[in-house]
Amino acid sequence: MRTILFDWDGTIVDSMEALFETTAATCRHLNLPFDREIFRRTFSPNWRLKYRALGITEEHEDEAIAIWAKSFRPDETKPFPGVGEALDRLRGAGHQLGVVTSGDRVEIEPQLARLGIEGLLTVRVFGDDTDSGKPDPQPLRLALQLAGAIRPEDAVYVGDALDDMRMAASAGVRGVGIVSMLATGDDLRAAGAADSAGSVVDWVDQLLPLRQKQLPQAARSNGQADGAHRDQIDQVDQQRGVEGARRKGSDQMDASV
């Protein structure tokens, strides 16, 4: 079993466009230059770092936060297609799942409940749980402790921002970058990602054989793969090996003829 932890915005929920529009409104109000390239270049899950990169000074922080609170609607966010099923597949395969986000608890927890995935992401670290935010490793290290003193090498962190991958690398956790408007696969790997994918669903499809998707629900209990689940996977592998050997033998006989 591995512990797999996820970023929230832009990874689980499709909120990047809403974040762009909210940041644009803030910059317009403060007469700061802003476009999609500036958004991509300055984005950080850590709002303090993002504001500094945009040129928002401490003097205007409260003003910027007020605009954010007025314009960003977390109650309207939606998960990326197939994310719920992908998370369920991971849990069914025996993985412990969680979320490490820069969003505050009061903002994210209602979304977890509204989207019906609060029972899947059980390890949770929010932006107001630690003194330091991404890319500092403190939030991820706290998540590993909450997960049961998990070793960094037994965990994976999945996120779409460069600072997500920097945090994972600093914590010694394998980072998986999700390609988005923020970064390409090369960008994410340069920031420390061990791997990248087009979405969480794509990554789960790579990680778990598609045959697991077809295993009966009865073979999954309380988020852990039981013996029947593992035995069925082994039987499928053995059967495929037998069939492959038969085909190879048949091909050799045909060739000799």
Question: Please, what are the averages of pLDDT over each run of 10 residues along the chain (257 residues)?
Answer: 92 93 94 95 92 94 91 86 97 97 93 94 96 96 97 97 97 97 96 97 89 45 40 38 42 41
Domain check: are 147 and 205 in the same one? Answer: yes
Domain check: are 83 and 35 in the same one? Answer: yes
Cα 121 from chain centroid (whole Å): 11
Tally the domains of the chain: 2
Domain that holds residue 210: 1-224
- pLDDT (0 to 100) of residue 222: 44
3-state helix, strand, coil in the chain (%, to 5): 55, 10, 30
Domain check: are 63 and 6 in the same one? Answer: yes
Cα 136 from chain centroid (whole Å): 17
Phi-psi region of 134 (alpha: psi -120 to 50; beta: other; left: phi over 0): beta
Domain check: are 166 and 236 in the same one? Answer: no
Do residues 199 and 193 make contact, with C-beta atoms less than 8 angstroms apart? no
CA dihedral 36, 37, 39, 42 (to 10 degrees): 180
CATH number at residue 73: 3.40.50.1000
Nearest in space to 210 (alpha carbons), one of 219, 201, 220: 201
Tell me if the pTM is above 0.85.
no
Domain check: are 72 and 185 in the same one? Answer: yes
Cα 35 from chain centroid (whole Å): 26
Domain check: are 106 and 191 in the same one? Answer: yes
Helix and strand numbers (H, E) in the chain are: 11, 8
- pLDDT (0 to 100) of residue 108: 93
Cα 223 from chain centroid (whole Å): 18
Domain check: are 194 and 238 in the same one? Answer: no
Domain check: are 172 and 245 in the same one? Answer: no
Alpha helices in 30-159 (DSSP H): 36-42, 47-54, 61-71, 83-92, 105-114, 138-146
- pLDDT (0 to 100) of residue 233: 31
Domain check: are 220 and 230 in the same one? Answer: no
Domain check: are 235 and 153 in the same one? Answer: no
Domain check: are 173 and 238 in the same one? Answer: no
Domain check: are 241 and 193 in the same one? Answer: no
